[in-house]
Amino acid sequence: MKTVKVGLLGMGTVGGGTVDILTNTISEIERRLGQTIEVAIIAVRDLNRPRAVDTTGITLTDNTADVVNHPDVDIVVELMGGTGLAKELLETALKNKKHVVTANKALIAEHGNELFALARENGVMINYEAAVAGGIPVIKAMREGLAGNEIEWVAGIINGTGNYILTEMKKPGADFAQVLKVAQELGYAEADPTFDVEGIDAAHKLTILASIAFGIELQFNKTYTEGISKITADDIRFADQLGYEIKHLGVASRAENGFSLRVHPTMVPKDVLIANVNGVMNAVMAKGNHVGPTMYYGPGAGAGPTASAVVADIIDTIRWQDQPQEDQVPGLGFRADQLESAPVVSIEEIETAYYIRCFAKDHAGVLAKVTGIMADSGISIEHVHQEPCQQNPDDATLVMITNTVKEAKINQAIAQLDGLADIDGEIMRIRIESLG
């Protein structure tokens, strides 16, 4: 039986999980593959650190170059993260004609165009299922399973930390800061949670999903990104009363003059499946012109789920490595010469319905001023709710739901509302998506 040798860059949570699967599930893998897989070498930070998995027979090194230059390694698995050294190492691996498997969403989103080109130049593959949504095989589903469709839109809960926070904020008395602290204590959020709660992590993943869905080049720097740190318990409560859940979604869709790529808090009707995805779980919806809306659900992080995706990519790489390059599944789902350099439209060009919350002086005529500004901006109001403000007895909390309107008009209206002496504090705006 042929042996394929693998080298790992990094042996943290996912690296350990990958070694564990390749050690303890090898007989099942051999049944599927007709070949065996051997971990030949692993680059680690500290050679003396105790390991959670057995590394007997595996060479450990603290020199990352040993892995990408190893003469017997067929596949380099990058699990170290970052976009500096990791990029340099993968460039070396590709030039050495080694296939690459990576879980590094930032690297693919920011440098994937050049890395895929380098892989094609050297006749090797890059596989990256674990870079998006952990153990959910969403890359394969969209790239291959939906290949007979023109994808209309993709929407996903693709960061478990943010989803956990918004789920916990539904509990009485919870607020953002309090729940974030608990998430950090549980290990769901980093000490610096910026990448998760401000949407950067999700934007990396959405960039990849959009490229696969629409056949466009990776364009992370044009993805609109907005976090959840301004969501309040009142917003959660109002959403519930109005029949919605607030989710931190990545949404990519076709637009009149290109494509829209955006990550932001989103109100989703409760009867939509993705609205009921809670805790640290991930889910991705994609609508094809023939199949309609589909959803892919599961754990988005962790040793087992993410390592499962890594090993699946290793198996796929072995299956396809002997095929002519033109017969392999393209890295982004479309032939390289067919990837469009299509424009990503400004967030001001998108059209959705909106939830607007503000604090207004509880005086006669104020509501008329507010609704007058909305009408003058060409915005139709579907629902208005007013109640006493708990923070300031002189104010009322005013909530409005609009009909579908271009964001530029909402921005115009909010700017005018901000200029009213009768409006206190920051005006909250949350986009609404029906996902039908």
Rounded CA separation 125/329 (Å): 9
Rounded to an integer, what distance in angstroms lies between the CA atom of residue 228 and that of residue 47? 39
DSSP 8-state symbol, 276: G
d(CA 290, CA 151): 9
Amino acid (one-letter) located at 321? Q
Looking only at the bridges linking them, the beta strands covering 244-255 and 258-269 are antiparallel
| Set 205, 247, 361, 369: catalytic member | 205
Question: Which residue type, as a one-letter code, is found at position 371?
Answer: T
User: Which residue, 352, 358, 385, 421, is CA-closest to 232?
Assistant: 358
User: Would you call 205 a catalytic residue per the annotation?
Assistant: yes
Contact 396, 362 (CB under 8 A): yes
9 closest CA partner among 71, 85, 115:
85
Cα 162 to Cα 94, 219, 302: the distances in Å are: 35, 23, 15
Strand 224-225 relative to strand 423-432, pairing: unpaired
Contact 102, 78 (CB under 8 A): yes
Are 106 and 78 spatial neighbours (Cβ–Cβ below 8 Å)?
A: no
Cα–Cα distance for residue pair 127/344, rounded to 1 Å: 25
At 380, list the tokens: 């139709």
Catalytic residues: 205
